[in-house]
Amino acid sequence: MLRRVKLMNPFELAQDRVSQDRITQERPQPIERKVINCAARATPVCAACGSDDIICHATAQWSNEAQEWQLANTFNQPARCNTCHTDCNLVWLTLN
């Protein structure tokens, strides 16, 4: 007994997948929203003179997830006030 089997063309399968992909792309996709915790904004000021002109030696590292530079290390060095030219303790003031 002879069986006839239809051979499948792999290019037809690829064409069907492309058509199916177009159908799913035309449907509205749910919007993915990132929830961001909005903490109170603050700024560091010099405990001695109250200036916000503060520097600190640090290393920043790029974050692919956040798409921003993030503080990586401060080398355990004190912050320095550019107004009174001293190593300073910081006081954090809340901003509106």
Residue-wise pLDDT for 61-92, tens only, equals 999 999 999 989 988 888 999 999 999 999 99
Record the tokens describing residue 77, joined without a space: 């060095």
Amino acid at 22: R
Residues in the chain: 96
For residue 14, name the pLDDT band (cuts at 50, 70, 90): very low
Task: Report pTM.
Answer: 0.49
pLDDT of residue 45: 94
Between CA 96 and CA 93 the distance in angstroms is 10
Q: What span, in angstroms and rounded, lies between the C-alpha atoms of 31 and 64?
A: 21
